[in-house]
Structure 1
Amino acid sequence: MHDWQWRAWVGEASGEPRASAFLITPTTLLTCAHAVNGRSGTWVGFPGLTGPLPAKVVPCGDWQRAGDEGDVAVLELSSPVTFTRARLAAPDILTRPAPQAPHGTTPYGGGQRVLGTYGFPNPREPYERHITVTTGPSMMQRQEWWQLKAEPGDQILEGYSGAAVYDPYTREVVGMITDSDLRGTDGAVGRMLPLAAIRRYWEELDDHLPLTWLTPPARRSLRRLLTGAATAAPLAELVAEAAGPIPGRPRFRSVWDSVRSVAEGWPDDPDRLARWIAVLRRHLPDRDLAGWSRTHLPTLRAGTTEDGTSEDGTASVIVRLERVTHDNAYDVTVHTWIDGAEGARQETVRVPERSVRQAAETGLAKARGAMVGRTDWMIEFAVPESWLGKPFEEWYVEREHQLPMGMYPVVVRDVERLRPDSIRRDQAHRRWRVLRERGSSEPERVDCGRPRAKSAFQNWLMANTDVCVLVYGARPAKAWVTAALNTGIPVMAWPRTRCAGGCTGRHQLDDLADALAGRHPDHLPARVMELRKQALVAPAHEPHCGRELTLLWDDPSRLPDPPLAMEV
């Protein structure tokens, strides 16, 4: 009984209904723009619950005359009501396969859905009338409306405009009636706006829909932050550049429309939304998108300080190393990664193995100009598995003055994970999400006593999907590294020294694990840099967990496009 309190009428102060509406919040209802055309205020009532209540009319669509799109208006009550609000379905519900009806009822057929609605066709009647309608994906009109067909004996008449259309079994609202054909079909045919269309004209509706791509507080905060925002460049061009073209969406009504389109266009790839927010930060400097990102979007590590410089390791020089199948040569490509998106990329150079270091240092010298002035940036080496243990932090960031790269955070990555079709990358995505949701490193200690067989270690990792950070007490066996990469472990740390054995090795393992424990994953590169610097001034005869320390830190969202030669 109480589930249906949200159904309302729109009409006169005398209590005469003229149209319908439904309750979204304690002070807000939705109805059709044409039902309140020319009015700044109207009256609403909830049958059997309360008499006429004054409401302010807020047109929010594009409707001007019959046949126009955007036939949507919001009604704002002066005081909140305590009635049950409408339960809204997901905006894509109508395009999903129609479910089977409950036992004992007429089943859905051919993708058609059997829905319910209500209206007030006679102003002199103090009660609503209920009818059954059907619709389906084949009855969509101009990507705006869905045609409705009334069941035999029912009619869609005047007074139904603004009524919610709902699934009688789930009790979820899927749309709103806007039109009826009273000439040729005598009310047997009408139209509704689905929620997916209504939300285009009243963006606040997204605050109340069961969306999954952000938490409700995060969505609400971001939508409000972007209200009224505009970019100088066309949104469609910016979206295509940052996230890729969205099929069927050649234009966006607003910046918020672009955000939800990116989020819902790639529901299994939240990194695209992160990259799009990062791009918007650069184009909307007057909006505090950096602060919002740090609070609500853990997949986005791109933040900016008040002076416009980046923080939280958002900027990187990425040195990509690919082995050529002949001549023992390597392709070296230097990328920059700034504010969640790829920046400048240098041309790939092919060099023999002995010249890789020189090529990397030369490329870094050219790229570091884009990093100067930022509060924090890092160096990432995306290299073949056999190169992960190289002492890259000892290479030079500036050879002329013999300044080592270890002055900055230096990490290694598995170059195979940079390939979009890599299973290793897919597995890394899964564990990286677990790590981000946790928001804290919980290192798993791997001592020398573990079984060295790859199969045993890999099986253990496959069975423990919550393990995201591995810390080794000594240089790990190759089989361990391969197993960890295969199963998507995104963070590993190890000293490049061989196992010292006894309590010495165990103490180093514990010291390293304790130094990383509880840290946010974004802060691990800087923490390892600190440990390396501490080791530089520690007594040489004493072990230190920062000495000859390698950090594999592999955020799969930082995915620069491969050079053309590598794509081929």
Structure 2
Amino acid sequence: MTSASWHARITCGRETGAGFLVTERHVLTCAHVVGRSGTDPVGVSFAPGEAAIPARVVAHGGWDGRETDPGDVAVLELDREVPMKPAEFAAPSDAYGDPPRRLLAYGFPKRYDEGTIAEYRATADQLIAGEWVQLEAWAAHGQPLVPGFSGAALTLADTGRVVGMVSAAARDPGIRNGRMLPAHIMARYWPRLGELIPTPEYGRPEKERLRELVAGYGASEVPECGPERLYRDAVGPFGPPVPSRGFASLWDAAWYLLSEVPDTGAVARFAARLADFTEDAPTRGALRTWPRGPHDRRGAPPVHAPAGHRVAPELARAGRSAPAARPWSPILVEIAPSGSGDHRFLVEVSAYNGRHRRVVGSRPLPAERVRAYVLERIDEAYHELEPDARELIAFVLPRRWLNTDVAHWKRSADDDSPLGSFAPLVVMDLERRRSGGLQHKLLKKWQHLDAQPAARLHRIGCGAVGQDPVRLTIGLRRGADMVGFASPPRADGTRRLFQASLNAAVPVMLWPRTGCRGEQRGGAHEDCSGAAFLDRLAEHLADLPPSELPTYIHELRETAYASDSPEPHWAYDLALLWEDPRCLPDPVGYLHSPVG
């Protein structure tokens, strides 16, 4: 193993040290060995007596001249490729063991131009100053570490694989110890090295791709979320803390996750979180789907259909195509107050596959950036859906914003058609979704609905604003499956009845976003647009199972948006609150809180 041809002798002016070939054209050594490379030529030779190959320093760890300074790493690029096979690396943990592993260093001290070997072992796997591992002599005799060994590869005696590099020796020749810069620490300073070092689960192609995606970013490019924050989001609240030294770059954090964090899924979460702060759409998609390709479904969880998704026979009888009896595959958009001001929101977009949820984007945003962000992430969430998935876009909104015109949002910068015409779209109440009691009641409601041939619609007309909300809540719990409002929840009286219906765990609520405000009591509203709206609603919902309402309302919206009548179609501003917890279960996958 010690005769490997990749061992190199490095000269720089009057300085001599060691190095080792890691690619056909790159050699690693200590920065202090080539400290005078700005004025003196650097030469690299691989065999005694051969002419040195000129080289130049192409990467530097930041070492600034003192013995205790970190980053004592330099990468040399040879003038030409060399024919010998580069060194191979061991896994970071392979340098340690019980009994200790014997490590060999091949150096070039004075009068040993052909090189000589020193035998050492790692004292422990504990890093000194977050950078070095202490070395001690394997035996009380033999070659000590002296000048000329700096930059030498430390290899496992039994396999010849590299675990680190000699960076220093004791000043007192009577003390036979030194320092090793472990290979995975060197990869902090030269990201390409990470591709060569074995790490759990991820091979060289995946790491190379991640390096290309991450290494070019500086922390200043993502001011809303630096490397430490991305790291904490990736490992979760109970994961390993940020190392005391912090992270110098996003790659530093990504490499730490690859090489030192046992949870192999954390680095994929890191990449997905970084995607959220990436403006370039192709790069964002590549980060989010790393280590998979954007259309690679390998490892995707199976989709299990919840009960209750029946085909509506009336749709087929009316000449419309009946949807297949498949479960919904929702794209969930949750918009919540951030807690840091009235004009900032926490926005999260996810895609569901059965019970498994993949977060596509999660950001704290000012109000003016919410719409563009949501629309962009909805479009990207479609990459997570199977080709035959039944799409459903579900907005979870705070109660006071349920009347927001999300169905009328332009689908994208290049498509002015309403989002509600693109796919079935529903809204849900944020407070109700977070209530365990109301979610339980909703599940019981759906069990009841599954056993019924049709749902019961309770009408709340424009003139009902004086109704007692508490009595309405209790009555709706017992006797209504759907509630139709003749007016939007804008006036105080209607808002109170709207809230009463939400608290009754009614799974379906419908209303016109505009029209009569319902502020007057009594019979003054018999001929208003609200009453006509409820009549048309009752006519069109007759005998339709609630589980199919998102598809049917989508068809109604398409008809309304495409209508060329001078008068607006009655369903043009139709809003649908529809919530089946079985389609949007509590996620079992990656969740995080982006507050900060």
Alignment of 1:316-331 (within 5 A): 316-317=332-333
Name the CA shift for 1:262/1:167 in 2 (closer, same or farther; >3 Å): closer
Tell me, yes or no, if structure 1 residue 232 matches structure 2 residue 227.
no
Query: In structure 2, what is the equivalent of residue 280 of structure 1?
Result: 274
Residue 534 of structure 1 is matched in structure 2 by: none
Q: Could you tell me the percent identity over the aligned residues?
A: 27
Who is 1:75 aligned against? 76
Map 1:8-407 → 2, pairs under 5 A: 8-11=8-11, 18-40=16-38, 41-47=41-47, 50-67=50-67, 68-94=69-95, 97-98=97-98, 108=99, 112-122=100-110, 124-137=111-124, 140-150=127-137, 151=139, 152-182=141-171, 184-186=172-174, 188-230=176-218, 231-233=222-224, 234-241=226-233, 243-244=235-236, 246-250=240-244, 251-263=246-258, 267-268=262-263, 270=265, 272-286=266-280, 288-293=282-287, 296-298=290-292, 315-317=331-333, 337=350, 339-340=359-360, 366=402, 373=411, 399-400=510-511
Q: Deviations over 1:370-419 (max 9, x none)?
A: 79547879889998898689769x98887226697758699xxxxxxxxx
What are the superposed Cα offsets for residues 27-85 of structure 1, whole Å, 9 maximum, x if unpaired?
00100000000214410000259531111113421211122111000010121112121
Aligned positions of 1:466-485 closer than 5 A: none
Pair 1:147–1:260, CA change in 2 (3 A)? closer
Q: Which amino acid aligns with 2:85?
A: T
CA 176–138 in structure 1, closer or farther in 2 if over 3 Å, else same: closer
**Which residue identity lines up with residue 168 of structure 1 in the other structure?**
A
Q: Which is further off, 282-291 or 172-181? A: 282-291
1:369–1:160 distance in 2 versus 1, CA, 3 Å: farther
* Deviation digits for residues 186-207 of structure 1 (CA, Å, limit 9, x no counterpart): 4622111011221111121112
Partner of 2:557: none
Is the Cα contact below 8 Å between 2:6 and 2:85 reproduced in 1?
yes
Is the 8 Å Cα contact of residues 200 and 264 (structure 2) preserved in structure 1?
Answer: no
Cα pair 1:317 1:368 within 8 Å, conserved:
no
C-alpha separation between the residues in 2 aligned to 1:113 and 1:43? 32
Letter in 2 for 1:69: P
| 2:134 partner amino acid | Q
Name the residue aligned to 1:7: 7
Corresponding residue SS for 2:159:
coil
Max Rg structure: 2
Pairwise CA distance, 1:128? 0.7
Taking a change above 3 Å as real, the CA distance of residues 161 and 337 of structure 1, as seen in their structure-2 partners, is: same
The code of the aligned residue for 1:77 comes to: L
Task: Name the CA shift for 1:195/1:43 in 2 (closer, same or farther; >3 Å).
Answer: same
Count residues with an aligned counterpart.
367
- For 1:391 and 1:246, the matched residues in 2 are separated by 46
Are the aligned partners of 1:20 and 1:161 in contact in 2 as well (CA < 8 Å)?
A: yes
Question: In the alignment, is the contact (CA less than 8 A) between 2:333 and 2:350 conserved in 1?
Answer: yes
Give yes or no for contact 1:229–1:284 (8 Å, CA) kept in 2: no
Q: Secondary structure in 2 aligned to 1:34?
A: coil
**Corresponding letter in the other structure for 2:71:** G
Amino acid at match of 1:366: L
How far, CA to CA, are the matches of 1:377 and 1:214 in structure 2? 38
Say whether the 8 Å CA contact 2:286–2:293 is kept in structure 1: no
- Cα distance in structure 2, aligned partners of 1:133 and 1:3: 17
Select between 201-210 and 398-407 the one with higher mean Cα deviation.
398-407
Shift of 1:296: 4.0
* Cα distance change, pair 248–292 in 1 and its aligned pair in 2 (3 A): closer
* C-alpha contact (below 8 Å) 1:19/1:159 kept by paired residues: yes
Give the counterpart letter for 1:254 in structure 2.
Answer: S
- Report the CA distance shift for 1:561/1:257 in structure 2 as closer, same or farther (over 3 A): closer
Q: Aligned partners of 1:26, 1:58: CA distance in 2, in Å?
A: 15
The one-letter amino acid of 2:142's match is G
Q: Which string of whole-angstrom CA distances, capped at 9 and with x for unpartnered residues, describes residues 145-186 of structure 1? A: 11212232321011000000011112111110011123x234
Secondary structure at the counterpart of residue 85 of structure 2: coil
Per-residue deviation, 1:253: 1.3
Question: Hey, what does 1:329 align to over in structure 2?
Answer: none
- Separation of aligned partners in 2, 1:341 and 1:2: 51
Give the secondary structure class of the aligned counterpart of 1:43. Answer: strand
Distance 1:64 1:171, change over 3 A: same
1:158 maps to a residue whose letter is: P
Distance in 2 of aligned mates of 1:378 and 1:165: 61
Please give the alpha-carbon distance, in whole angstroms, between the structure 2 residues aligned to 1:60 and 1:279: 29
Task: Give the counterpart letter for 1:80 in structure 2.
Answer: E
Instruction: Give the letter aligned to residue 78 of structure 2.
Output: L
Q: Contact 1:294–1:301 (CA<8 Å) still a contact in 2? A: no
Q: CA deviation at 1:210?
A: 1.3
Instruction: Tell me, in whole angstroms, the C-alpha distance in 2 between the residues paired with 1:282 and 1:37.
Output: 41
Tell me the alpha carbon deviations over residues 279-302 of structure 1, each in whole angstroms, 9 at most, x when there is no partner.
212222147433324764349899
Instruction: Report how far residue 557 of structure 1 moved.
Output: 5.9
Classify 1:362/1:193 alpha carbon distance in 2 versus 1 (closer, same or farther; 3 Å): closer
User: Contact 2:105–2:153 (CA<8 Å) still a contact in 1?
Assistant: yes
Question: How far apart, in 1, do the equivalents of 2:582 and 2:173 lie?
Answer: 71
Please tell me the residue identity of whatever aligns with 1:149: E
Q: 1:256/1:556 Cα in 2 relative to 1: closer, same or farther (>3 Å)? A: farther
Q: CA deviation at 1:316?
A: 1.2
CA distance in 2, matches of 1:171, 1:409: 64
Q: Alpha-carbon deviation of 1:215? A: 3.7
Summarize the Cα distance change of 1:561–1:178 in structure 2 as closer, same or farther, 3 Å threshold: closer
TM-score calculated relative to the size of structure 1: 0.54
Q: Is the 8 A contact 2:8 2:18 kept in 1?
A: yes
Secondary structure of 1:400's counterpart equals strand
Counterparts of 1:148 and 1:128 in 2: how far apart (Å)? 20
In 2, distance between residues paired with 1:213 and 1:81?
A: 31
User: Which has the larger displacement, 49-58 or 188-197?
Assistant: 49-58
Structure 1 stretch displaced more, 192-201 or 229-238: 229-238
User: Measured at CA, do residues 42 and 405 of structure 1 come closer, stay the same or move farther in structure 2, by a change above 3 Å?
Assistant: farther
Compute the RMSD of aligned alpha carbons. Answer: 4.6
Q: Which amino acid aligns with 2:350?
A: W
- 1:297-337, Cα deviation, whole Å (9 max, x unpaired): 349899xxxxxxxxxx8941589xxxxxxxxxxxxxx9863
Q: Is the 8 A contact 1:94 1:137 kept in 2?
A: no
